[in-house]
Amino acid sequence: MDSKLDRWNRLKEICHKCGACGLAARRKSVVFGEGVLESRVMFVGEGPGEQEDLQGRPFVGPAGQLLDRMLAAIDLSRESSAMICNIVKCRPPGNRTPTMEEGEKCLPYLRAQVDIVRPGIIVCLGATAVRHIIGPAERITRVRGQWLERKGYWIIATYHPAALLRDPSRKAEAWSDMQSVRAKLEELGIRHGDASMV
C-alpha cells in the first residue's frame, strides 16, 4: 500500500495544478499545508495571505507567528507534532474572505488531507473554518471551545490568530480552548512515530 507521504505528495501535485475556481488566476503559490503526517491534531485556517502566497507556506505572516506561539503553549509545533492547513489553498485577492463557493470547490483537498493524516482532532481557526467544517449557519462566538465528534474526529473551534491580533481581549478564551486541545490529546494518547515535516 502507498505510504502517507506518497499519498500526500500525489495530492499536493494535483492541488498545485488546480484551476477549479477563480482564485487560481491570481495566485503566486498554492499553499497546500505543512506539518507532520503523523500528527494527532490538524489546525485549519481560512486561506493564504500575502506572505503565505509569496512563500507557498501556511501561517508564516504575523498571524502565523502567533499561531506558532499558541502551538508552543501546548507543547506542539508544525515541525514535530501538528499539521496546519487552510480551507482554501490560494490567496483571495486583498485577503478577502473566500466565498462559500470557493471554499466548497477547495474542500475535497482538505477532506483528502484529513483522510491521509487521520489526525483525531481538528481545530477550526476562525469563522471560515467553522462555516465549512462545522456548519454554514454556525458562528465562531457560539461554538468556540465546544467539542463535537463527527465521523470519528473530535472537532473544536477557536479564534483565528489574526482576530486575536485585532482584539487581544479574546486571548484568554483562545488560551482556554488550546488547553482543551491539550487535554483531549492526552486523553487520546500522543502518537509516536516519524515526526518529519512535509
Q: In the complex with ligand URA, which residue's Cβ is closer, 121 or 162?
A: 162
Residues 85-124 close enough to bind ligand URA by CB under 6 A: 86
Distance CA 78, CA 84 (A): 7
Sign of CA dihedral 9, 20, 150, 184: positive
CB of 64 to ligand URA, least distance (A): 6
Q: In the complex with ligand URA, which residue's Cβ is closer, 38 or 52?
A: 52
Q: In the complex with ligand URA, which residue's Cβ is closer, 3 or 65?
A: 65
* Start-end of H helices in the chain: 4-16, 50-55, 62-73, 100-117, 127-129, 140-143, 161-166, 171-188
Distance CA 45, CA 52 (A): 12
- ∠ Cα 179 185 189 (to 5°): 150
Q: In the complex with ligand URA, which residue's Cβ is closer, 12 or 191?
A: 12
Minimal CB distance residue for ligand URA: 45
How many C-beta atoms lie closer than 10 Å to residue 164's C-beta?
22
Q: In the complex with ligand URA, which residue's Cβ is closer, 11 or 194?
A: 11
CB of 51 to ligand URA, least distance (A): 8
Residues 5-64 close enough to bind ligand URA by CB under 6 A: 45-49, 52, 58-59, 61, 63-64
User: Residues in the site for ligand URA, rule: CB under 6 A?
Assistant: 45-49, 52, 58-59, 61, 63-64, 86, 162
